[in-house]
């Protein structure tokens, strides 16, 4: 996938662009430093906002159908919008009356690698009703990536998973794409078709408009010139919750300060982030031995959960102290399975055992 973050490899070459042109008395290639990030961003955001003001998406096609599929009965009543694809076009001629994207997008501020605040615009066609997508997750998504001039540089279907954050040899995506995806939810349910394919239901549908500072900036990629803005349209159809250190706590839950960065959470100060540390509090007891996990396939009246909402409601009413819901899984037979983790707090001091070096004391 061309959008993968190659920053680690590029850093090995000093983050410079080399010119092959030399003067006769030159001893080597000319080193051209990257442009000023603030200057580039100022240009990028003007181009993005110009695009948003002069283009629209096929919102009328989406509005012709129910936004979400009805999952109250099985087989599910499916809306064509589960396979809806965003198409952008210019506001002109017969399309002069269309609503411009600038009036339909939302925005958030994301800092680039130099700490410069960048406005990231994203289009929320459908948020989705499944599980939240976290910056440290793995995702199966149907997406397309292209430049503002319409050049397609990458695409895939939901059968190909990718990581959102680079960890070790696992290469993540560029920051702008990741920050857009996490504003949406994964599928709520799915249907296995007779031909072996899968139809996903009630996942998010959207797009994100990425300034180069949250993309490749001065790095040139195939079909992506340096300092190029990028646009991604996507359907995040499935998420995988990763547990990098296999300690029983999913990595997204080890972002203790909830800042979206798993690398700055180190409870015991040993230099190893919690999501890579098998003993988070350094008390000599493995994290996996200081938590519990539960799986619920039916409610307290011994009836299976027949809707996503029923499983969620059951948890909200019956959750034990310290119990956290992390997954509601569609069994593809009209029933759902609910999975939870319990953060045990044996001494009642408000800190779960796996983060409390005073327990056992």
Answer with the one of 194, 218, 240 that is the final residue of a domain. 240
Domain count within the chain = 2
pLDDT number for residue 157: 81
Indicate whether 2 belongs to any domain.
Answer: no
**Residues 296 and 230 occupy one common structural domain:** no
List the Cα angle 84/210/154 in 5-degree steps. Answer: 60
| Residue range 161-216, pLDDT digits in tens | 999 999 999 999 999 999 999 999 999 999 988 888 899 999 999 999 999 999 99
Q: What is the mean pLDDT of the chain?
A: 90
Per-residue confidence band for 27, with pLDDT thresholds at 50, 70 and 90: low
Answer with the one of 240, 273, 306 that is the final residue of a domain. 240
| Residue range 251-308, pLDDT digits in tens | 999 999 999 999 999 999 999 999 999 999 999 999 999 999 999 999 888 899 998 8
Per-residue confidence band for 33, with pLDDT thresholds at 50, 70 and 90: confident
**Residues 210 and 129 occupy one common structural domain:** yes
Query: Do 230 and 146 meet the contact criterion of CB atoms below 8 Å apart?
Result: yes
| 75 CB-contact burial (10 Å; exposed 0-12 / middle 13-18 / buried 19+) | exposed
- Give the residue-averaged pLDDT of 75-86: 94
The tokens for 217 are: 């900036």
Which residue from 166, 361, 345, 357 is spatially nearest to 270, judged by alpha carbons? 357
Indicate whether 125 belongs to any domain.
Answer: yes
Answer with the one of 219, 240, 261 that is the final residue of a domain. 240
Domain that holds residue 221: 7-240
32: number of Cβ within 10 Å: 11
């Amino acid at each position: 996938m061309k959008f993968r973050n190659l920053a680690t490899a590029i850093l090995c070459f000093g983050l410079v662009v080399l010119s092959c042109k030399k003067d006769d008395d030159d001893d080597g290639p000319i080193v051209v430093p990257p442009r000023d990030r603030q200057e580039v961003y100022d240009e990028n955001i003007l181009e993005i906002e110009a695009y948003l003001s002069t283009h629209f998406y096929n919102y009328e096609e989406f509005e012709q159908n129910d936004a979400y599929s009805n999952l109250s009965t099985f087989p599910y009543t499916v809306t064509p919008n589960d396979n809806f694809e965003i198409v952008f076009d210019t506001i002109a001629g017969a399309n002069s009356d269309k609503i411009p994207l600038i009036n339909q997008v939302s925005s958030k501020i994301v800092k680039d690698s130099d700490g410069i605040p960048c406005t990231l615009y994203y289009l929320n066609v459908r948020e989705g009703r499944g599980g939240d997508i976290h910056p440290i997750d793995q995702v199966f998504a149907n997406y397309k990536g292209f430049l503002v001039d319409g050049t397609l540089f990458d695409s895939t279907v939901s059968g190909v998973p990718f990581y959102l954050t680079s960890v070790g040899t696992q290469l993540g995506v560029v920051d702008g794409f990741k920050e857009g995806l996490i504003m949406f939810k994964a599928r709520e349910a799915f249907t296995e078709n007779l031909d072996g394919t899968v139809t996903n239901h009630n996942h998010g549908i959207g797009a994100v408009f990425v300034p180069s500072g949250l993309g490749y900036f001065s790095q040139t990629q195939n079909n992506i010139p340096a300092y190029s803005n990028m646009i991604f349209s996507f359907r995040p159809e499935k998420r995988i919750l990763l547990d990098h250190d296999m300690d029983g706590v999913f990595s997204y839950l080890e972002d203790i300060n909830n800042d979206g960065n798993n690398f700055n959470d180190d409870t015991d100060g040993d230099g190893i982030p919690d999501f890579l540390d098998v003993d988070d509090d350094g008390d000599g007891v493995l994290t996996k031995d200081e938590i519990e996990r539960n799986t619920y396939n039916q409610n307290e009246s011994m009836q299976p959960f027949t809707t996503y909402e029923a499983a969620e409601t059951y948890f909200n009413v019956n959750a034990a102290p310290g119990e956290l819901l992390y997954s509601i899984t569609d069994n593809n037979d009209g029933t759902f399975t609910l999975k939870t983790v319990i953060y045990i707090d044996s001494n009642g001091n408000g800190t779960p055992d796996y983060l409390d070096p005073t327990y056992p004391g």
